[in-house]
Amino acid sequence: MQAVARESWHAAYDDVIGAETVDRTIDRWYALDSLADQITDAAGRDDATFLVYERVDSSDGDDDTHADSARSGTDGVEPMKAASKIVGFAHAGPHPDRTGTAKLSRIYVRPAVWGDGVGSRLLEQVERELGPHFETLWLEVLADNDVGVSFYEATGFVRVDEQESVLGDGEVREYIYEKELS
């Protein structure tokens, strides 16, 4: 998952904040122990989810055939199959300050499969799992992340605000999006 986040961030943000800032941010925000704790926490709650999307090579040797799955761990981190490859993941749970609102903390897909529907399937699963618990799904995205902004707007999110945040050695503009959960 850390590798997926690193690839996605480099593709989206190297020209915006620089490769070194991307690496420092990933190392800090996606430390393996922290990820394991977040997965375990989400697995133990009804109002949170941590999904992993993996592609599994078919047993018949056909390289063009993959079995795709989006799943949330039930007992924390699950061992990966040797022939599987994580191509995306998503993490969401209660917004810390907004009643009735879930926060989409992360949704990342390897750049090699952008446009293949992996992000959409992850988002649909997040909405299915959290819809019964929340009215709204909320997120922040860097304004210069053209791929992310386009994805969120294409999947029904509405920009409701923007803010300045500190990232690395500078400030960045973030857009805030919301989507009603049905």
Q: Where are the domains of the chain?
A: 2-180
Which superfamily is assigned to 2-180 in CATH? Answer: Gcn5-related N-acetyltransferase (GNAT) (3.40.630.30)
Predicted local distance difference test score (pLDDT) of residue 49: 94
**pLDDT on residue 51:** 93
* Band of residue 170 on the pLDDT scale cut at 50, 70, 90: confident
- What would the mean pLDDT of 79-92 be, rounded to a whole number? 73
Return the DSSP state at 79.
Answer: P
Partners of 141 in the β-ladder: 175
Bridge partner residues of 142 (DSSP): 174
pLDDT of residue 152: 98
| Contacts for 145 with CB less than 8 Å, ≥ 6 apart | 12, 13, 16
Q: Which is higher by pLDDT, 143 or 56?
A: 143
CA 153 to chain centre: 15
